[in-house]
Structure 1
Amino acid sequence: MKKYVIAGTGTRGLHMFGKPLVSKYSEFARLAGVFDTNVKRANVFKKMTGGDFEVFEDFDHMLDAVKPDTVIVTTQDAFHDVYIVKALKKGCDVITEKPMTTDEFKCNNILRTERETGKKVTVTFNCRYMPFLLEIKKLMMQNIVGEVTSVHFEWLLDQVHGADYFRRWHSNKRISGGLQIHKATHHFDIINWLIDDEPRIVSAFGSLRFYGSNGTYKGNHCFNCEHKDLCKFYVDKANNPFYKEFYFDNMDIDGYAPDMCVFRNEIDIEDTLSVSVRYKKGAVMSYTLTAYSPYEGYKININGTKGRLEIENYAGKHLKEPVKQVRYFDEEHKMTLIDIEEGRGSHGGGDSALLEVLFKGSDEDPYNRHANSRAGAMSIGIGIAINNSIREQKQIKIKDILWELDVD
């Protein structure tokens, strides 16, 4: 039975890995330790999992004491590389939450260390495991649109889910890399995977148009804000039993609680993005992200030499029920509606399907769902290039930021 440890005891680490390892996969895997810089929260993490494992305040000590087979990294994004590299050098394989890391220097260090140690990095791209998107992948593998020529991808975050990123540590670009890395790493991997191609050139524009300094009512946190009766973005997380025990009762350690004001002047990530990507095989993609939409979801149009695939998956208060629709237009301009059921469970059924593979194991991968470090790098490579393109106001070549990979 393999031994696992977790670095980073936030909500993702708890719900995606901690609880399932203890309650569902204990026959196949053993959670032997957890580490976090906030040891109080780590102890709450242990309590909430119901597991019997040690809580560590020092990551290196945990590796030496436990000698795990695999380290699961679910820390804040900008620190993934620290724990990935240390784990690899200690002879451990690594499972890391997306994004693999946040800039080109950290990314290349991970790639180089993985190659030198011979150990393996797996990136948890759960979208590849969503039943809805898996059916799209099957259609693409049937060459339904022919050679892919262009992709238009629009992602919409509403003013509930989207606003949450601006309440949390993700609103600090130094830590998250911005939504183009933290959030859109999923989106870019979806396209890379669906069209079976890799990005080569990226150009982007981005700005902060809605959150941050654009708001009227400002404070530090919702729980102590004088504008809570006036601001529509006020949330009462401090009195939520889970958030209180997991975060607010532990603020004395690191000062963090996930109810920061969405209109803080110090917010420096973009909420509006427009991106162009050219792929190795010649396809081009236009991608937009809006983090303050009236409704939430995505629309993907894939054009090819034999047809067009239109994918819509969104929901909002203006709709009686969510829209999940796939349309195919063939060479004769005939339109066919393709019925695909949405998966059940967190992230459209993707989380549970991914965990089955991670902890029970499977050598079969007919749809290329197992994401390695190259897939992780190609996904964040677009996000990193977006940041560089916005800053430098020019096109960015992927080969110039992923120099540890063979990129032609």
Structure 2
Amino acid sequence: MTKKKYVLVGAGGRALYMFAKPMATELQDDVDFRGVFDPNQTRAKLLSEECGGVPVYADFHGMLAEVEPDVVVVASADYTHHDYIIESLEAGCDVISEKPMTIDEEKTRAILEAERRSGKKITVTFNLRFAPYFAKVKELILAGTIGDVYHIQFEWFLDRDHGADYFRRWHSEMKNSGGLLVHKSTHHFDIISWWLASRPKQLQAFGSRNVYGNQGKPRGERCMTCDYTTSCEFYKDITKDRFMADYYVGAEHEDGYWRDRCLFDERIDIYDTMSVNLEYESGALLNYSLVAYSPYEGWKAAINGSKGRLEVGNVYRSADMSAVDSSTITYHRLDGTTELIKVPTQNGGHGGGDEKLRRAIFTGGVEDPLGQQADSLAGADSCLIGAIANCSIKEGKLLQVPDLRSIGKAELQ
């Protein structure tokens, strides 16, 4: 069978480790990796060197025209996704998009319309669906273990290294990332919608900045040149990390992008404390929260149904969720008895989800009884929850989540 031709947009950490390296190694029997484009050519060339010399293109349009790829993998900055996705679809390519698919309602609509016009397909890489722990929860719900699900309490907490990191870089401005309610929470909103097999209906959200941003604290422009390195809790020397030093410090001369911008910069306008109350079409209610300055990293949730309650969650020792302290689901029956359900601990990024997701989307022929592969409508819903939550915070009121299924090609499963 002839291998499909793939090209990659983006040369940051996620692009390198999630897509480029695997396409050049573990997936090479199924993937013909033909090219990479990033506006920062230094990063693109470094990625190429680590991936066996895959061709580097200075122009995205030129790469599409020369390679004529079957599939374009989009792993660039969030605010650029819609441009690359739409152009790829119009060029007759399928698209694999890193999440979030995009950052606001307008861009979401444009992507879905382009997909319908082109007749091509978008796959969104929601790796948490493939992590065995999250998949086990889906299995239990599908099996009717707790009956009809009425309510979910879901809390995610980023530690003061991982959480702070979003405020050092391009993610810290709403125009670039949609804030953490889009960039980060898209993971979580998708998982909940997937567990419930329902789409969002309406929500009200709250958000604030309590730790990062202009808090009146002494500050510099960036950690590398700061006068407060000995007194700032958040000082970080990125030159000590080889990847950071090569891919970012060594590439600054091209675009002026600093990877260690001050956490108290006045340009920061995203929230570090967030809460969303959401109603689903099924009638289930969600209470969601995210903080980006916790003493430790992890999440916890309680899922309440007509026949019982599941308590789930983990504490992580790494930002990519590869180091897990435990993997146990607590099942509370209505009669007051409790069962501990052990889930085998998985190594690898996102609790073992990254590798399983790659195998499903690149290798093909993998059975999908849980519906783990996500289409553009799933990508749209998870993005819209965060985008509409941002609007709710700004306007201070309850808002409807737009239903874009009439634009998409197929009904959300």
TM-score, normalised via structure 2 length:
0.94
Displacement of 1:40 after TM fit? 1.6
Partner of 1:20: 22
User: Which runs of no fewer than 5 residues in structure 1 stay unpaired?
Assistant: none
Task: Map 1:132-151; keep pairs closer than 5 Å.
Answer: 132-151=133-152
SS at match of 2:224: helix
Partner of 2:311: 310
TM-score, normalised via structure 1 length:
0.95
Task: Map 1:9-408; keep pairs closer than 5 Å.
Answer: 9-49=11-51, 51-214=52-215, 216-315=217-316, 322-399=325-402, 404=407
Contact 2:384/2:402, CA 8 A, preserved across alignment: no
Contact 1:381/1:401, CA 8 A, preserved across alignment: no
Displacement of 1:45 after TM fit? 1.2
Contact 1:385/1:401, CA 8 A, preserved across alignment: no
What are the Cα deviations for residues 189-213 of structure 1, in whole angstroms up to 9, with x where unaligned? 1111112111110110101111111
Displacement of 1:400 after TM fit? 6.5
Distance, in Å, in 1 between the alignment partners of 2:58 and 2:269 is: 30
What are the Cα deviations for residues 222-271 of structure 1, in whole angstroms up to 9, with x where unaligned? 11111111112111112432211111111011111321111111111000
Displacement of 1:54 after TM fit? 1.7
Contact 1:381/1:402, CA 8 A, preserved across alignment: no
Distance, in Å, in 2 between the alignment partners of 1:101 and 1:23 is: 29
Distance, in Å, in 2 between the alignment partners of 1:53 and 1:326 is: 43
Contact 1:63/1:90, CA 8 A, preserved across alignment: yes
Contact 2:377/2:405, CA 8 A, preserved across alignment: no
Displacement of 1:335 after TM fit? 1.4
SS at match of 2:95: strand
| Deviates further, 190-199 or 51-60 | 51-60
Distance, in Å, in 1 between the alignment partners of 2:97 and 2:317 is: 32
Displacement of 1:137 after TM fit? 1.2
| Deviates further, 69-78 or 391-400 | 391-400
Distance, in Å, in 2 between the alignment partners of 1:127 and 1:215 is: 37
Contact 2:202/2:399, CA 8 A, preserved across alignment: yes
Instruction: Sort the Cα spacing of 1:48 and 1:258 in 2 relative to 1 into closer, same or farther, 3 A.
Output: same
SS at match of 1:348: coil
Structure 1 consecutive aligned stretches of length 4 or more whose deviation exceeds 6 Å = 400-403
SS at match of 2:402: helix
Displacement of 1:296 after TM fit? 1.2
The amino acid of 1:46's aligned partner reads S
Contact 2:133/2:327, CA 8 A, preserved across alignment: no
Distance, in Å, in 2 between the alignment partners of 1:401 and 1:388 is: 17
The amino acid of 2:269's aligned partner reads D
User: Which runs of no fewer than 5 residues in structure 2 stay unpaired?
Assistant: 319-323
| Deviates further, 211-220 or 108-117 | 211-220
Distance, in Å, in 2 between the alignment partners of 1:226 and 1:360 is: 51
Displacement of 1:336 after TM fit? 1.3
| Deviates further, 153-162 or 52-61 | 52-61
The amino acid of 1:48's aligned partner reads E
Displacement of 1:331 after TM fit? 2.0
SS at match of 1:379: helix
The amino acid of 2:62's aligned partner reads H
The amino acid of 1:72's aligned partner reads V
Contact 1:155/1:289, CA 8 A, preserved across alignment: yes
Distance, in Å, in 1 between the alignment partners of 2:193 and 2:170 is: 27
Identity %: 44
